[in-house]
Amino acid sequence: MRAAGGPVPLEVSIREKSFETTDGGRLTTIRDLAFTVGEGRFACLVGPSGCGKTTTLRLILGLEDEFDGTIVKPEQGRTGVVFQEPRLLPWRTVDRNIRLPLPEDRARADLSALYATLGLTGMENFFPGQLSLGLARRVAIARAFALEPSLLLLDEPFVSLDEPTAERLRRLLMEVWSARPTTALMVTHNLREALELADEIVMLSARPATVRGVYRVDLPRAERTPQAVAAMLAEILALYPPEATDT
């Protein structure tokens, strides 16, 4: 039996997910999509725009419940989520936004080390309107990790950021995650980003999404120089050439 709150594997097997169209038909967005994220591993889900990556996350979260298949995730423990937008309440301070989802046993937890790692020390009493988008994203990451989650889900958390800001946030995310390792799945359309962060990359096809393959990134993160990432990028593109609908 695994300890409650510890990292756990995530097992996804979606035989089919479809939606009703405005004309009364059915649109299949996912078919025969199956993958596993090992305990304490960081995986990225990569595929063409609109192929079903975010839908897959919604199914894992239970926000969509009509599908054919199974999803195995921790029955106990907490799930931390980082959305595309920070989703901060404008009338709550940074600290109160981060503590909002905390259960009673974590409500008064000491978060100073987490704030220090993410560069939020001294900003606890700021309001969202006083933050840049990059800082708001840091608050969203802190909110997810403050839960001490056994499962972490991220939906394109660095989208709309300029590359220097996104790069700083990727480094901070890895610093926090390495200190608090948990089973993690991140959606991204950016292969370079995935190669910098992931232990493995689940490559999806165009809609209806299925798994084209899984690329294992064995190189230690400290050795993933721009040159090494470029070499891996060339390899993965040779294995999984971009499809016509890729963006």
Q: 168 and 54, same structural domain?
A: yes
Q: 156 and 48, same structural domain?
A: yes
CA distance 25 to 230: 43
> What type of residue is 125?
N
Please tell me the predicted confidence (pLDDT) of residue 223.
96
CA distance 88 to 229: 33
Task: Output Rg (C-alpha) for the chain, integer angstroms.
Answer: 18
Residue for token digits 């423990």?
77
pLDDT tens-place string over residues 23-68:
878 888 999 999 999 999 999 999 988 888 999 999 999 888 889 9
Alpha helices in the chain (DSSP H): 53-61, 94-99, 112-117, 133-146, 163-179, 191-197, 226-239
Which among 115, 148, 181 is the end of a domain?
148
Q: 207 and 109, same structural domain?
A: no
Cβ 53 vs Cβ 128: under 8 Å: no
Q: 200 and 100, same structural domain?
A: no
Range of the domain at 133: 86-148
Q: 167 and 155, same structural domain?
A: yes
Give the number of domains in the chain.
2
pTM above 0.75? yes
CA distance 92 to 175: 26
CATH number at 39 reads 3.40.50.300
Instruction: Tell me what the pLDDT averaged over the chain comes to.
Output: 91
In a domain, residue 60? The reply is yes
pLDDT tens-place string over residues 146-179:
999 999 999 999 998 999 999 999 999 999 999 9
Quickly state the pLDDT bin for 247 (edges 50, 70, 90): very low
Q: 143 and 176, same structural domain?
A: no
pLDDT tens-place string over residues 62-117:
888 889 999 998 766 789 999 999 999 999 999 999 999 998 888 889 999 999 99
Per-residue pLDDT at 181 exceeds 90: no
> What type of residue is 111?
L
In a domain, residue 247? The reply is no
Q: 142 and 160, same structural domain?
A: no
